[in-house]
Each structure stands twice: as structure tokens, then as C-alpha cells.
């Protein structure tokens, strides 16, 4: 029996209510569809997400001889996306440190293939079923849930839930998740989305919004409106694929979708459709999180690495030393792979190893490496440079508060030092203005001459 399936694509993207720019990108072709959530700050994130979609776009409309070929091509396109984003970042210092998530699907022969990196998501909603997330988030909290250190509920609302552990454009090597192809059925809905949707909305809300008779464009509009109603903390991007069964495929979205083998239940493995498999064994490689990661006590390692190091020596992880010490540098690079994170305050993503912030240590303005938070008891920062000689209490109160809260971030040690120098000037100006007996910003209890380098 021949059965035709048609896939209609709908999409929408919105900046949300907090961000100034939309760094998400989306792709709806005829056979390939994707979302990418860029990171790296203004413009860089947009470049990253746009660049990552180009190799995916090139697959659109291509014919493949087998499931395996389609899957391989999709994975190779994601690997190429990684190469492209890394290359752009290398070529332009303004773009260095950029990255993006990438969740891409291709539809061939009535089957959905998925390749995925990051914390954007693909969902399947099958008529009469509850919605199921097809992709695994590459996030710190997801890892901690798997390690039994956080509950699923805690993870859903954790302030550092957008700390991601894998992204396109960050490292030259990329590990890509894929799944066995999913046999599409009439009535299926596939939702690709960035975390700007799934942060504010839970699975039940997504199901309610998808499970309606309205037009797909209207569903996309409602998804975005709901995320915005819930605060719209991030860019929101949705691609919705609706599968319908017809006998006609001409002009349909799936030009090469003509026949389907008997449909196994979703998640059923190993039963390749006889018509096209043409080989023994599973038809797809499955790239999931490598086994050694799950057996490794990853969080323990993180905890060790992220402990304040060399506080007494006043250095912590020193980049120059790392270069001179290969063993140490690998560890640091490994850490960079593991923890790519969203700074909650600025909303911008940064590599932990490249992230700095100004904080307070024993009353002194201090430069830290990492982010000013703990996740499940794991400290994600350590002292980069102390001994600035600037007392936090001497700063104007609103700046002092920001310093105490670790809200002043910097993209590099140089930038952090520059900020500290500005603070030093502020303190000196305040002293000049108020004279020796201040009652304003400076602390009268602080003996003069104390605020110097030890
Ligand atoms: Mg996002």
C-alpha cells in the first residue's frame, strides 16, 4: 500500500520582552528545518546562528539513497556548521567566543532525522499522546539531573538552567546527537524551538497550545505570545511541522515521500523498514553523550576544577601558566567544553573559561574567573586577581552593591582590569571632592591610606 505524507511547516521568531536583539535563527526549507540560538553578545550571536544554518540549508531538497545517507548528511552538515562558526570566530576578533545551539531535522521517505547540539529542543506530539521531547538538553542542570544531584523540577526553574555544556562554534571538535529515524504518522506535530519558549512554558502548556484546530501559523503566534506573557526573558523561536496523510504528494513538502513501511511504535528500535534499509543492523549511528561521560564523576571533577584555586597565591587559573603547562591547559580546555554558560544578569552567554566578573573578597574589589554562582553546590568561580587595593565600601553605593552581587561582568581579564581602574578613579575623585572628612560614599571607619596595595 502506498501512502503519501505531507508536511506543512510554520514558523515564527520574536525578540522577547527583555533582549534588545534577536540572536535566534530558523530555517524552513522543503525537506530540512532547523532552529539555532546564537550566543556571544550583540551581533556575534546573530552571526553564529545564521552561519550555522547555511550548511543545513544546502541539504534542502537533496535526495538520499537510504536512511543512513540522510542521517550521515545531516550530521556532516552540523559538523560543517561547527567548522564554519569556528572559522568566522577565528577570523574576526569581535566575534570570538560566539557560539550557537543547532537543532536540525530532515524529512525523507516519511521519516524524521534529527541532529542536535545545545539546549534548543525538538518535540513530537502524536495524536492522543502526551508531548515527548526528542532531544536531550546539553545543559549543566540536565547533567546534574542525570547524576541525581538535582530533581527534574528543580532543574526546570534553576537560575543557571541555561548553562549549556555543548555548542556549535566553541571547539574544533563537535559531538553531535542523533536519533534513529522516526516514522512520521498523519497528525504528528514536530516542534523545534529555542529555550526562549521552553524556559517560560512547560510541557503541559506546550501540549495545550499545539493541540488545537487552529492554523499552524496561529499556533506559532500563540506559542510566542504565551512565552511573552510569561515574561519573554529570551528570544523565542518556533518551527512547527504538521504531518498530514494524503494520497497526493505532488507539490507537497515531501517530494520524495511516497511510501511508508509498517509503523513501529516510537522508540521501538532495530526494526528497519525492509524496503529501503538494504543492510543489516541499525541504519543509523547514534551519537549520544558518550558513555565515558556518564561513568565519569563529572560533577565531582567540575567541583574540583571550579573550587577557588590559588587564593593564597592570589592567582587562581592563570592563563600564562596554562600555556606553559600542557596538562593543566587540557583540563581548562576540557572545562571550557563542559561549561558554556549564560550569565543570568546580562543574559549573554560566555565560556566559563573566558568569563570574568568583579566581586568582593574580604571587602576588596577582586577579579574573579567564571560566574558568580553555585550550581548544586558546585562553585563556578575562582579568584583571577586580587590585591587591587580598591575597597568595595569606598565605591558609590549602587556600584558597591553590584560588585557585592557579582553583577559586573567582563569578557576578558584586560577588560576586568580596566573596570577596576575606573573604580579606582571613582574612589579617588570622591576623595578629592569630599575632602578628608567624607560623609558620602566613603566609609568613615576606613582609615585613610588603607586603600592601597598590600
Ligand atoms: Mg535562548
Looking at per-residue pLDDT, the higher value among 128 and 157 belongs to 128
Q: Which of the four pLDDT bands, split at 50, 70 and 90, describes residue 379?
A: low
254 alpha carbon – ligand 1 mean position (Å):
30
141 alpha carbon – ligand 1 mean position (Å):
15
235 alpha carbon – ligand 1 mean position (Å):
6
261 alpha carbon – ligand 1 mean position (Å):
37
Question: Per mean pLDDT, which of 15-19, 55-59, 374-378 is the most reliable?
Answer: 55-59
pLDDT recorded at residue 452? 36
Q: What length does the chain have?
A: 454
345 alpha carbon – ligand 1 mean position (Å):
14
219 alpha carbon – ligand 1 mean position (Å):
20
Q: Please check whether residue 98 is in contact with residue 40, taking contact to mean a CB–CB distance below 8 angstroms.
A: yes
Q: Which of the four pLDDT bands, split at 50, 70 and 90, describes residue 218?
A: very high
Looking at per-residue pLDDT, the higher value among 352 and 167 belongs to 167
Q: Which of the four pLDDT bands, split at 50, 70 and 90, describes residue 373?
A: low
Least confident of 187-191, 293-297, 331-335, 417-421: 331-335
Looking at per-residue pLDDT, the higher value among 397 and 85 belongs to 85
Question: What integer is the mean pLDDT of 80-95?
Answer: 89
194 alpha carbon – ligand 1 mean position (Å):
6
Cell numbers describing residue 219:
499556533
Q: What is the mean pLDDT of the chain?
A: 73
- CA distance from start to end of the chain: 84
- Over residues 154-180, the pLDDT tens digits come to 888 776 677 777 889 877 889 999 999
Question: Per mean pLDDT, which of 76-80, 341-345, 365-369 is the most reliable?
Answer: 76-80
Question: What integer is the mean pLDDT of 65-69?
Answer: 96
Query: Contacts by 128-135 with C-beta closer than 8 Å and gap 24+?
Result: 130/203, 130/207, 131/191, 131/203, 131/206, 131/207, 131/210, 132/266, 133/203, 134/179, 134/182, 135/103, 135/177
Q: Which of the four pLDDT bands, split at 50, 70 and 90, describes residue 36?
A: very high
pLDDT at 343 over 80: no
pLDDT at 312 over 90: no
pLDDT recorded at residue 84? 97
Exposed / middle / buried, residue 295 (Cβ in 10 Å: 0-12, 13-18, 19+): exposed
432 alpha carbon – ligand 1 mean position (Å):
45
What pairs with residue 171 in β-bridges?
A: none
245 alpha carbon – ligand 1 mean position (Å):
33
Distance CA 230, CA 121 (A): 19
pLDDT recorded at residue 82? 95
202 alpha carbon – ligand 1 mean position (Å):
15
pLDDT recorded at residue 105? 98
Residue found by looking up cell 590585591 in the block: 387
347 alpha carbon – ligand 1 mean position (Å):
9
pLDDT at 216 over 70: yes
pLDDT at 362 over 60: yes
pLDDT at 255 over 60: no
Q: Which of the four pLDDT bands, split at 50, 70 and 90, describes residue 313?
A: very low
pLDDT recorded at residue 204? 94
132 alpha carbon – ligand 1 mean position (Å):
20
263 alpha carbon – ligand 1 mean position (Å):
35
171 alpha carbon – ligand 1 mean position (Å):
20
Exposed / middle / buried, residue 409 (Cβ in 10 Å: 0-12, 13-18, 19+): buried
Least confident of 40-49, 106-115, 427-436: 427-436
pLDDT at 3 over 80: no
Q: How do the residues of the chain divide into helix, strand and coil, expressed in percent and rounded to 5?
A: 35, 25, 45
2 alpha carbon – ligand 1 mean position (Å):
41
411 alpha carbon – ligand 1 mean position (Å):
19
pLDDT at 324 over 60: no
Report every protein residue that has its C-beta within 5 angstroms of ion ligand 1: 37, 194-196, 234
pLDDT recorded at residue 213? 87
- Report the percentage of the chain scoring pLDDT > 70: 67
pLDDT recorded at residue 267? 38
Phi, psi dihedrals of residue 36, rounded to the nearest 5°: -140, 135
Closest CA to 365 of 387, 382, 384: 387
pLDDT at 299 over 90: no
Q: Which of the four pLDDT bands, split at 50, 70 and 90, describes residue 374?
A: low
pLDDT at 111 over 90: yes
pLDDT at 411 over 70: no
Amino acid at each position: 500500500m502506498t501512502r503519501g505524507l505531507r508536511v506543512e511547516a510554520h514558523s515564527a521568531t520574536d525578540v522577547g520582552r527583555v533582549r534588545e536583539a534577536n540572536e535566534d535563527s530558523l530555517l524552513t526549507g522543503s525537506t530540512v528545518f532547523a532552529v539555532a540560538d546564537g550566543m556571544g553578545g550583540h551581533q556575534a550571536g546573530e552571526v553564529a546562528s545564521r552561519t550555522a544554518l547555511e550548511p543545513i540549508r544546502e541539504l534542502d531538497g537533496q535526495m538520499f539513497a537510504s536512511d543512513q545517507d540522510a542521517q550521515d548528511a545531516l550530521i556532516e552538515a552540523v559538523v560543517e556548521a561547527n567548522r564554519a562558526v569556528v572559522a568566522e570566530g577565528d577570523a574576526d576578533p569581535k566575534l570570538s567566543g560566539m557560539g550557537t545551539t543547532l537543532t536540525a531535522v530532515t524529512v525523507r521517505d516519511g521519516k524524521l532525522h534529527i541532529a542536535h547540539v545545545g539546549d534548543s529542543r525538538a518535540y513530537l506530539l502524536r495524536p492522543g499522546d502526551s508531548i515527548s521531547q526528542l532531544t536531550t538538553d546539553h545543559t549543566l542542570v540536565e547533567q546534574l539531573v542525570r547524576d541525581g544531584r538535582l530533581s527534574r523540577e528543580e532543574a526546570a526553574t534553576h537560575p543557571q538552567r541555561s548553562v549549556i555544556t555543548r555548542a556549535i562554534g566553541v571547539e574544533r571538535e563537535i559531538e553531535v546527537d542523533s536519533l534513529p529515524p522516526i516514522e512520521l504518522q498523519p497528525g504528528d506535530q514536530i516542534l523545534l524551538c529555542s529555550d526562549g519558549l521552553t524556559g517560560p512554558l512547560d510541557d503541559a502548556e506546550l501540549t495545550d497550545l499545539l493541540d488545537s484546530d487552529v492554523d499552524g501559523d496561529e499556533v506559532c503566534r500563540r506559542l510566542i505570545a504565551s512565552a511573552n506573557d510569561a515574561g519573554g526573558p529570551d528570544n523565542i523561536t518556533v518551527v512547527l511541522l504538521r504531518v498530514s496523510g494524503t494520497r497526493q504528494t505532488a507539490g507537497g513538502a515531501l517530494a520524495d515521500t511516497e511510501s511508508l513501511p509498517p509503523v513501529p511504535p516510537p522508540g521501538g528500535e532495530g526494526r528497519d523498514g525492509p524496503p529501503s534499509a538494504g543492510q543489516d543492523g541499525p541504519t543509523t549511528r547514534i551519537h549520544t553523550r558518550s558513555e565515558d561521560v556518564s561513568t565519569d564523576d563529572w560533577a565531582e571533577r567540575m567541583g574540583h576544577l571550579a573550587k577557588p584555586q590559588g587564593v593564597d597565591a592570589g592567582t587562581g587559573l592563570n592563563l600564562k601558566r596554562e600555556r606553559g603547562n600542557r596538562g593543566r591547559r587540557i583540563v581548562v580546555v576540557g572545562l571550557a567544553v563542559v561549561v558554556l554558560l549564560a550569565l543570568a544578569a546580562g543574559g549573554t552567554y560566555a565560556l566559563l573559561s573566558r568569563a570574568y566578573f568583579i566581586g568582593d573578597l574580604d571587602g576588596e574589589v577582586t577579579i574573579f574567573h567564571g560566574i558568580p554562582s553555585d550550581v548544586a553546590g558546585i562553585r563556578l568561580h575562582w579568584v583571577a586577581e586580587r590585591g587591587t587595593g580598591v575597597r568595595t565600601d569606598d565605591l558609590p553605593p549602587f556600584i558597591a552593591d553590584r560588585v557585592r552581587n557579582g553583577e559586573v561582568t567582563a569578557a576578558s581579564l584586560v577588560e576586568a582590569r580596566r573596570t577596576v581602574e575606573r573604580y579606582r578613579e571613582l574612589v579617588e575623585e570622591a576623595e578629592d571632592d569630599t575632602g578628608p572628612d567624607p560623609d558620602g560614599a566613603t566609609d568613615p571607619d576606613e582609615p585613610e591610606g588603607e586603600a592601597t596595595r598590600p
